[in-house]
Amino acid sequence: MTNKSEVRLPVLSSGDGAGPLPDAALSTLRSFEHQLGIGSRDYAARCLALAQRFNERPWLQQVRQAVTIATIGVRRVYAHQPHLFAGQSAVAKVTDNATMTR
């Protein structure tokens, strides 16, 4: 049974992915996961669970809110310890792309 603050994500499939990440992006992702102490997938699920607390909003707005929460979290971790990340442009691209898709 799932808790209301828990989001169940679909099972990962090795064949449906967009392909392997470039080394700089993978290094940045691993550094981010290390700083948070949880995986990026679990972090995304936490952000979505937090956004779902605003249940008066339509579901798509909740998803957009989750993206905003995740983007702010990425920027916060990066701002405190930028030297831990492989390429500064990799983090900037991720956060800029997330902001642009809204």
Token output for 10: 């679909």
Q: Which residue has the higher pLDDT, 41 or 97?
A: 41
The CA distance from 39 to 29, in Å, is 9
Query: What 3-state DSSP class applies to 71?
Result: helix
DSSP 73: H
Q: Is residue 84 part of a domain?
A: yes
What is the 8-class DSSP label of residue 22? Answer: P
pLDDT tens sequence across 59-76: 899 999 999 999 998 888
Look at residue 17 in the predicted model and tell me its pLDDT.
57
Lowest-pLDDT range of 9-18, 36-45, 88-97: 88-97
**Domain total of the chain:** 1
Q: Is residue 7 part of a domain?
A: no
Evaluate whether residue 67 is within a structural domain. Answer: yes
Each residue's pLDDT tens digit, 5-33: 566 766 665 555 566 777 777 887 888 88
Distance CA 71, CA 1 (A): 29
Instruction: Give residue 21's pLDDT.
Output: 72
Q: Is the separation of the CB atoms in 85 and 91 below 8 Å?
A: yes
Distance in angstroms (rounded) separating the CA atoms of residues 62 and 52:
6
Residue 37 is part of which domain span? 23-100
In a domain, 86, yes or no: yes
DSSP, collapsed to helix, strand or coil, labels residue 29 as helix
Q: Classify residue 5: in a domain, yes or no.
A: no
Q: Has residue 39 been placed in a domain?
A: yes
User: Within a domain: residue 36?
Assistant: yes
Q: Alpha-carbon distance 26 to 52, whole Å?
A: 29
Q: Whole-number mean pLDDT of the chain?
A: 75
